[in-house]
C-alpha cells in the first residue's frame, strides 16, 4: 500500500487509482472516516479515464496516529506535501463534511495553482458552531455531548451516529443499510481516539469564512436539505454566497451522506461539473 513520509516522520496513506495520465480528481473524507468512504465516486470516475487520488487524514484510517497536529492547518500542509509528491496539477478537489473544510482551507492557505475546480459535499464551512455572529450555527453543547459520548462509550457512539442522523436512517420509511452502518463503524474505530476527539473541535469551531472569499475558481456545493449533521441553511446556503464562483445544488430529502445514499446522482453531478 502506498504511503508518503511527511515532514515530521508521520506516514500518510493514499490511493492513486485510474489512468495515470488522466484528469486528476482528489477526495477528502469526513469525520471520523477514511478514503474508503469515497469508493463509489472513485471507481466511477476511474472507470471513465480519470486519475483519482484520496488520502487517509493523519490519525485516520491507515495513516500514522500522531498525538498532536489534529487541526486544519496541519491537515492542509499534509495535503500540500502529497500534491507535491504526486505532482498534482490542474486538479478538481472534492471534499465531504470535515473534508470539505479541508478543501476550503487548502485553497485559502495554499492557493489554486494546482487546482482548477472544487466540490463541497455536505461541507462544514463557513462555521458550524453557533456564535453571536453565526446565529444559524449549532450550539456548542451539542459538540460537547459528542465529546462526552466518546468518553462514555466511543464504540456505541460510533454505532449510533451512522444508525441515525449521518445517513438519515432515523427518518420514517428510510431504507436502512446495515452494510453502510458497519462500514462507518469500522472506519471510525480505525481512527485514533485522540484524533477523532480533537477533530470535533476542528470541524465545529474552525471559521472558513475568509478562505471561502479567497477561492476564485468554480466551486460546486452539493447539500441535502435534510442534512441533520451539517444543516443546509447554516452551511452550503451560506458558503455559496461567500464563494466568488459558487453554485449550489440542493438534494431534496438528502441526508448528510448524499454521496453514499444518492450515489448515481452525485456521481453524475461530479462528472458533469468536471467535464465542463
What is the percent of the chain with per-residue pLDDT over 70, rounded to a whole number? 100
pLDDT band at residue 276 using 50, 70 and 90 as cut-offs? confident
| Number of residues that make up the chain | 276
**Residue 1 clears pLDDT 80, i.e. is over it:** no
Among residues 227, 239, 259, 269, which one is catalytic?
227
Mean pLDDT score of the chain, rounded to an integer? 98
Among residues 60, 98, 105, 256, which one is catalytic?
256
- For the domain with range 3-275, which CATH number is right: 3.30.1360.30, 3.40.50.1820, 3.40.250.10, 3.40.50.300? 3.40.50.1820
Among residues 28, 97, 195, 204, which one is catalytic?
97
**Residue 135 clears pLDDT 90, i.e. is over it:** yes
Q: Where are the domains of the chain?
A: 3-275
Q: Nine-digit cell at 130?
A: 453557533
End-to-end CA distance of the chain: 33
**Residue 80 clears pLDDT 80, i.e. is over it:** yes
Tell me whether strands 91-96 and 51-55 are parallel, antiparallel or unpaired.
Answer: unpaired
CA 239 vs CA 97, 122, 214: distances in Å:
13, 11, 12
Q: What is the mean pLDDT of residues 65-86?
A: 98
pLDDT digits (tens, 9 = 90+) for 35-66: 999 999 999 999 999 999 999 999 999 999 99
Identify whether 256 is a catalytic site residue: yes
pLDDT digits (tens, 9 = 90+) for 248-260: 999 999 999 999 9
Q: What is the mean pLDDT of residues 197-223?
A: 98
Rg value, the chain, Cα: 17
Amino acid at each position: 500500500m502506498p504511503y508518503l513520509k511527511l515532514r515530521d516522520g508521520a506516514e500518510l496513506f493514499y490511493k492513486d487509482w485510474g489512468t495515470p495520465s488522466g484528469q486528476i480528481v482528489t477526495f477528502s473524507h469526513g469525520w471520523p472516516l477514511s478514503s474508503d468512504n469515497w469508493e463509489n465516486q472513485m471507481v466511477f470516475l476511474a472507470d471513465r479515464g480519470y486519475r483519482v487520488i484520496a488520502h487517509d487524514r493523519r490519525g485516520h484510517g491507515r495513516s500514522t496516529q500522531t498525538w498532536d497536529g489534529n487541526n486544519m492547518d496541519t491537515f492542509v500542509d499534509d495535503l500540500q506535501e502529497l500534491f507535491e509528491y504526486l505532482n498534482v496539477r490542474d486538479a478538481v478537489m472534492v471534499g465531504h463534511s470535515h473534508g470539505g473544510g479541508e478543501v476550503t482551507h487548502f485553497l485559502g492557505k495554499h492557493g489554486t495553482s494546482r487546482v482548477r475546480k472544487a466540490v463541497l459535499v455536505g461541507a462544514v464551512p463557513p462555521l458550524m458552531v453557533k456564535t453571536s455572529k453565526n446565529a444559524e450555527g449549532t450550539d456548542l453543547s451539542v459538540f460537547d455531548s459528542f465529546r462526552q459520548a466518546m468518553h462514555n462509550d466511543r464504540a456505541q457512539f460510533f454505532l449510533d451516529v451512522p444508525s441515525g442522523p449521518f445517513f438519515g436512517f432515523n427518518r420514517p420509511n428510510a431504507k436502512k443499510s446495515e452494510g453502510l452502518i458497519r462500514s462507518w463503524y469500522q472506519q471510525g474505530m480505525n481512527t485514533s481516539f485522540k484524533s477523532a476527539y480533537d477533530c470535533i473541535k476542528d470541524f465545529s469551531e474552525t471559521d472558513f469564512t475568509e478562505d471561502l472569499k479567497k477561492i476564485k475558481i468554480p466551486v460546486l456545493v452539493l447539500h441535502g436539505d435534510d442534512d441533520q449533521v451539517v444543516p443546509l441553511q447554516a452551511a452550503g446556503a451560506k458558503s455559496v454566497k461567500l464563494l466568488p464562483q459558487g453554485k449550489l445544488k440542493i438534494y431534496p430529502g438528502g441526508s448528510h451522506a448524499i454521496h453514499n445514499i444518492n450515489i448515481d446522482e452525485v456521481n453524475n453531478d461530479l462528472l458533469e461539473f468536471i467535464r465542463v
